[in-house]
A and B are shown apart, each in its own frame.
Chain A
Amino acid sequence: MALTGLEIYKLLPQTNCKECGYPTCLAFAMKLAAKQAELKACPYVTEEAKVKLEAASSPPMRLIEIGQADHRLQVGNETVLFRHEKTFYHRPGLFWRLRDTEKPDDLKKKVAEADAYQVDYVGIDLTLDGFAIEAASGDPKTYSAAVAAVRAASQKPLILIVTSPELAKAGLEAAGDSRPLLHAATAENWQAMAELAKSAKVPLAASAPDLEALAALTENLTKAGLEDLVLDPGVANYRDSLEQLTIARRLALRKNFRPLGFPVITFPGAAGADETLLAAEHIAKYAGFIVLDTFDPASLYPLLVLRQNIYTDPQKPIQVQPGLYEINSPKPDSPVMVTTNFSITYFAVANEVEGSGWPAWLVVADAEGMSVLTAWAAGKFDAERIAKSIKGLGIDQKVSHRKVLIPGHVAVLSGELEEELPGWQILVGPREAVDISGYLKAMWTN
């Protein structure tokens, strides 16, 4: 748990020698508390104080990294229970589980297809994060061949799902230097699993039927020298997941309870649940790795979008630069349209216009990053602002007509806008971006 400036001050030499660059030890302590200075700037700090301060500054939930080179995935190190308190930092990894009971060539084909999966959401490329390979055959050779096949088809991070040290060994060897997550150590096999994870330098998931058993297990693993751990509390339904994952996160963040200060792995499809909806719960409430049993773009796309939404920093509204955007090389007789600079709004409109094939001038008004309705209600997208954008951008020089299209949701502004923009005709467009193409076809006549 983070120390206050005064608590840190008590651990410093209190000589005000100024060698750290700050006028007093107290000032230095305050900077340390704000994480704007580093302890090593103090040449006289005692070893004892150093240990205490370092322990206090380590995060309550450990950051776990798996994968290699350009395909690393980091999860954990979360600091809040609700995204509005600050933000959620590391999006949970979405993995697809495959079993070694399938032929290597079939695995290769499936993996290659899923590996190439990519979907654009407001200009961001969303993808599957990696593959979990389960040693369902129980045979080390078969497993090794399956892991090798997956690796041949994808460089994305791997999770090795094994029940015995022999299978773990075979999987780790086939995984080479790709730094997979090893799943899982249990009360029965943890010593051997710990040895394997340690020598391969990979993170290890610990699996137990409840949080108490899980905490006991991670304590053993920590004592055995492992630092990079992942929790598998074996949750299988909506209620159990929500309770266990909430309790684990509260204990880690509020009580600084180290044995549960690790990200959690879940398997939402395991118990015949509605996999998409249980995965959605795990995204909103506290999973770090989510292993899916089905790869279906119709499910993966909404889940990836939900993850993107929940992990958006609430303190930074996602917005685009206000201004004039030219779509499909507009000409003087092309339509002029107005929208706000909330990036989701902008992309919805811009994609729709682009897809419609119509050349158009898109005026993106500065609505402080709010959507049309929200901005209108907050007084950030009114006739005055819209008129100011249109006048300021010199559109009258670029187009030969005097018609401007406003979103249907703010039809009520057309009267005022006519007063603000003398000589311009105000057209009320559709409420939703998806209807723009149909509207232009039916209504825009030159």
Chain B
Amino acid sequence: MTIEIPKEKWAGKVREVKIGATQADGGTRSRVVTLGGEAALPHLGFEGALPNPPVLAIEVRDRKPDDWSPLLVQAWGEAMQDPGDWARAAEAAGAEMIYLALSLTDSDGQKNTPAKARAAVRKVLDATGLPLTVVGPGQAEIDNELMVPVAEEAKGERILLGICEEKNYRTLVAAALANDHLVQSKTPMDVNLSKQLVILIHDMGLPLERIVIDPTTGALGYGIEYGYSVMERLRLAALQGDSMTQQPMIVTPGEEAWRVKEARVGEGVPQAWGDWERRSLNWEAVTASSLLYAGANILVLRHPETLKRLRGVVDGLKDPA
């Protein structure tokens, strides 16, 4: 019996976005990552072109975080003491991109400073040739104070700057415009809010080819279904031709998964949760892989083992040709 494969005809596709600049483009990166370009639903290659597979990034911090799971501390070891070493270890583990998150304070509890932020970015840029994302600590005033010098420090490297939120995006967008970078926008699990922020950023003069969106996802067991469906809806809208939804999506399953109790706590939890280490790794990997099916273009992970497993999934989803 012959069956006709039901293919959807899509009017639109996801915008192609390039992060990083090699020497030829005035930077020092050894490679560029290209996101987006999909003319089909996630990983359905029989339906349309999928030119750029999802990118796996590792989150590193400008200093060793105080509150990360001991399992993560064990995995990265001494490398966590220095952002350059950490980034190098991440590259060695197979990361295609580094996601550098700046801390609110230094290890003595003193407020982070522009000079320290610059130094951390410089270390990472010098340590690896991978394209880079840098995000602030997440408090508007300090973000703006730190991220403008960061944008200057990385001028020419075409890095992704984050995080633009509805209440605080102007300074970051201006810094991206002035230094030829890209920005990451973030909105709370809502298709319209996501579109609206892309419009606001674009209205400031930043080309759409320089915006990556984070629709916010939640972790497995903690609301992932909301983020998952918003991502599916964004991707469907993009393929149907809604221009302001056609941005590639960055998601942070590493951060989401490792802050929940199932991953963080090893003792005093129900026996039915199983072995702590395997459970934690599964929590991050299942959160991350679910988001792949919803259309994620960049997965920001924390554990090297998760990176390895997701590499297997991303490669396994590729067109065999």
**Partner-B contacts on A (CB < 8 A):** 82-84, 117-121, 211-213, 215-216, 219, 237-239, 242-243, 246-247, 250-251, 254-255, 257, 259-260, 273-274, 276-277, 280-281, 284-285, 296-303, 305-306, 309-310, 312, 314, 342, 344, 348, 352, 355, 371, 373-374, 377-378, 432-434
Q: B282–A302 contact, CB under 8 A?
A: yes
- Cβ contacts under 8 Å, A433 to chain B: 261
Say whether, besides A212-B1, A277-B309, A302-B283, A251 and B6 are in contact (CB < 8 Å): yes
Say whether, besides A299-B274, A434-B260, A239 and B286 are in contact (CB < 8 Å): no
- Cβ contacts under 8 Å, A121 to chain B: 221
For residue A187, give the distance in angstroms from its CB to the closest CB of chain B: 12
Say if the beta carbon of B222 comes within 8 Å of chain A: yes
- List B residues 85-102 near A (Cβ within 8 Å): none
Question: What are 15 A-B residue pairs whose CB atoms fall within 8 Å in the complex?
Answer: A83-B225, A118-B272, A239-B45, A239-B316, A246-B44, A277-B312, A280-B286, A298-B276, A298-B282, A301-B272, A301-B274, A302-B262, A303-B286, A306-B290, A434-B265
Q: B293–A434 contact, CB under 8 A?
A: no
**Partner-A contacts on B (CB < 8 A):** 1-6, 43-46, 166, 188-190, 193, 216, 218, 220-226, 228-229, 232-233, 236, 259-262, 264-265, 268, 270-279, 282-283, 285-286, 289-290, 293, 309, 312-313, 316-320
Q: B270–A119 contact, CB under 8 A?
A: yes
Q: Find B46's partner among A84, A243, A301 (CB 8 Å cutoff).
A: A243
Q: A277–B289 contact, CB under 8 A?
A: yes
Interface centre among A219, A298, A348, A373 (most CB of B within 10 A): A298
For residue B261, give the distance in angstroms from its CB to the closest CB of chain A: 4
Say whether, besides A284-B290, A306-B290, A212 and B3 are in contact (CB < 8 Å): yes
Instruction: Compute how far the CA of A281 lies from the CA of B310 in the bound complex, rounded to whole angstroms.
Output: 12
Say whether, besides A281-B293, A297-B272, A432 and B316 are in contact (CB < 8 Å): no
- Cβ contacts under 8 Å, A84 to chain B: 229, 232-233
For residue A112, give the distance in angstroms from its CB to the closest CB of chain B: 15
Q: B222–A348 contact, CB under 8 A?
A: yes
- Cβ contacts under 8 Å, B1 to chain A: 212-213, 215-216, 219, 259
For residue B254, give the distance in angstroms from its CB to the closest CB of chain A: 15
Q: B188–A277 contact, CB under 8 A?
A: no
Instruction: Compute how far the CA of A83 lies from the CA of B229 in the bound complex, rounded to whole angstroms.
Output: 7
- Cβ contacts under 8 Å, A255 to chain B: 4, 6
For residue A441, give the distance in angstroms from its CB to the closest CB of chain B: 14
11 additional contacts, CB 8 Å, given A296-B278, A301-B274?
Answer: A121-B221, A238-B317, A276-B285, A281-B313, A296-B275, A301-B262, A301-B272, A302-B282, A306-B290, A344-B222, A348-B261
Q: Find B220's partner among A82, A118, A306 (CB 8 Å cutoff).
A: A306
Instruction: Compute how far the CA of A25 lies from the CA of B236 in the bound complex, rounded to whole angstroms.
Output: 39
For residue A349, give the distance in angstroms from its CB to the closest CB of chain B: 11
For residue A164, give the distance in angstroms from its CB to the closest CB of chain B: 25
Say whether, besides A238-B313, A242-B44, A301-B272, A276 and B221 are in contact (CB < 8 Å): no
Q: A302–B293 contact, CB under 8 A?
A: no
Q: Find B5's partner among A216, A247, A310 (CB 8 Å cutoff).
A: A247
7 closest A-B pairs by beta carbon, nearest first, are A298-B274, A297-B274, A238-B316, A298-B278, A119-B272, A298-B279, A377-B188
- Cβ contacts under 8 Å, B45 to chain A: 239, 243
Instruction: Compute how far the CA of A122 lies from the CA of B281 in the bound complex, rounded to whole angstroms.
Output: 21
Instruction: Compute how far the CA of A374 lies from the CA of B217 in the bound complex, rounded to whole angstroms.
Output: 11
- Cβ contacts under 8 Å, B6 to chain A: 247, 250-251, 254-255
